[in-house]
Structures are given as structure tokens and as C-alpha cells.
Structure 1
Amino acid sequence: MTDIAAIAKLIEPEAKALGFDLVRVAMFGGRSDPTLQIMAERPDTRQLDLSDCETLSRRVSEILDEADPIEEAYRLEVSSPGIDRPLTRPQDYKDWAGFDARIRLAEPLNGRKQFDCRLNGLEDGIVTVYDDRVGEIAIPFGQIASAKLLLTDALIKATAPLSIEGADKISQEG
């Protein structure tokens, strides 16, 4: 089993040295065609362009080739998070307060595991959201299995001139 946390620790200093923040490091696909996905962003623009993806991909490839933390062959995908970005870090819930998101929980809260809601923010490890059906909800950050922004007119307007075509990516075999 691939240790994603160890891989993230290995590549984060390289991303930082290039001026990027890691958004997500994940492994997708089965044993026959695994993909290591690295999402990163420039703190000032909240995205990467194709040149940034190429630069980070080359740097990360060198580090991964040297450390060899993944036993099987894999594909490396480096991308920008795009507009309907995943929310993976506590700061994301502060930065994107006021926008709509889909949050999936590890365990049910008030009988539900998914909320389409408006983000209100995060304080002391608690994400607060507003759901039209039940009102304000407090969700412990640690209970969130996955979350992403929902593509809305307000989000498109707020992120202009960011591309609405989604993440630029570069893939290569590893």
C-alpha cells in the first residue's frame, strides 16, 4: 500500500521551493493502472498554468525516482485544482467562505453524510455551513471525507480570470 502522507512530505518542500502550495496528493486507479495525482497552486493566483505543471512534474519526478516510494509502475499527474476545486486544508474553508460546496462526511451527522451547502468558515477545527433544508450546521473538520466547491455563477465571477475549463494537467508514466 502506498503511503500518501509520506509522499506528500517528500514532495512538499520541492513544491514550496518552486513557490507552490500543495492542495492534494492522492492515488487513484487500481493496481493495473495507478495514477499519483498532485494538485498544487500558486498562492497568489490559486492555480497553475501549463508551464508550472511541467516544472513541478519534472521536479517531483526526480524526487520520486530517487526515493522510489511507490512499488508498482504508476502515472504521475500534476494539475491545478481548477475552479470547482477540492477543499482539503482547513484554510480552504476560510478562504472560500460564502461559496457553495458539496461536503461528504466519513460518518453521518444528523442522519446525513452529504451536504450541498454554503460555506460560512472554520474556527477551532469546526467548519460551519448553511444548508437550505436544515439551517446552520457545525461539522468537525476531521469528520469530512471529501469536499469540493460547486460551480456557480458567483464562483465563476469571483475567480475570473481563472480558467473555467478546469485544471491544466500534465501526465507521464512513472
Structure 2
Amino acid sequence: MKQLITGGARSGKSALAQARALEWQQQTDGKVVVIATATAEGQEMAQRIAHHQSRRPNSWQLLEAPRNLGDLLAKHSQPNTLIMVDCLTLWLSNELFGGDWPMAKEALLDALPGLPGPLILIGNEVGQGVVPLGEGNRRFVDECGWLQQHLSPLMDRVTLTLAGLPLELKECS
């Protein structure tokens, strides 16, 4: 099953994704791989990363990958391995402002249908507030929205989190 969990900052996305991954692991005795896209630039971000790491089981494998997500998913996806990507929004930022965003997005979208294993993607809803100042900021918000619109049809399940509560937007049985 391929899932997208989206919501605002501190809405409970990662906690929900971790609970679903743990439940899957307990039911299947499978392996969980976390692909972390953040880079520790500054103490505040390092603290955020440490917080996320402290909430995950030590048995889960961690891959740090700020870029080239499509290739990494294709390389590591297996039927008995759930991959959790935390988070798409930081990956988008890394590719948009330091990589080749159109190619990276295309590689991700091309890889998804062929992945043999379960997948949980975590991303932020960033376009529900005011229109941001600055061309780069507006482009980031637009690209984030378009990315999730392109991902949703490829997902079996899409969940929006608000105040720590999941709202199922799409669920295929």
C-alpha cells in the first residue's frame, strides 16, 4: 500500500506515519526503512531531527537522503520492507533550491508505480495560509501543492492530519 500523509506543521503527520509503520511491522514482521530528507543546518534543525529520531524504534533503518528520492526508493523498495519518507517538503526544498527540481520530481513520479513494497510519504500542506511574499517563496508553495496533486492519484491512501487527528481523503481497500 502506498500512502501520503499531509498536514500542517506539528499536525501529527510523523506520529501517525510512525504508528502505521509500527502496526504494519507488527502484522508482517517486515522491515522498516526511514528516508530522512532533512539536513541539520543549525541547532534548531538538529533538535528537530533528534526529536524525530528519538520517537522511532531503534530497529528501523535510517537513510539520510536530502536529494535523489526517486532513485533511492527504486533501490530500496522490497515487498517485505516498508519505506517511510520524512519529509517530502524538505526534499522538495532541497531539489528546488539546490538541485534539478523538474528532473527530481519526474524521477519520483516515475518510480512510484513500480515500487514493490509499502510506502508512506509525509508532506506538509503549506498553501492554506496567505500568499507569501517573494517569488521563490510563492514558487515553493506552488510546487508543494502541485507535487501533492500529482502524488495523490498514485497513492492507495491519502490522509490529512489536523490537531493530531487523521482525516481520510482517499482510501482504497
Bucket of the pairwise TM-score, normalised by the shorter protein: under 0.3
The structure showing larger relative contact order (alpha-carbon pairs under 8 Å, at least 6 residues apart) is 2
Larger radius of gyration between Structure 1 and Structure 2: 1
Higher strand content, 1 or 2: 1
Higher helix content, 1 or 2: 2
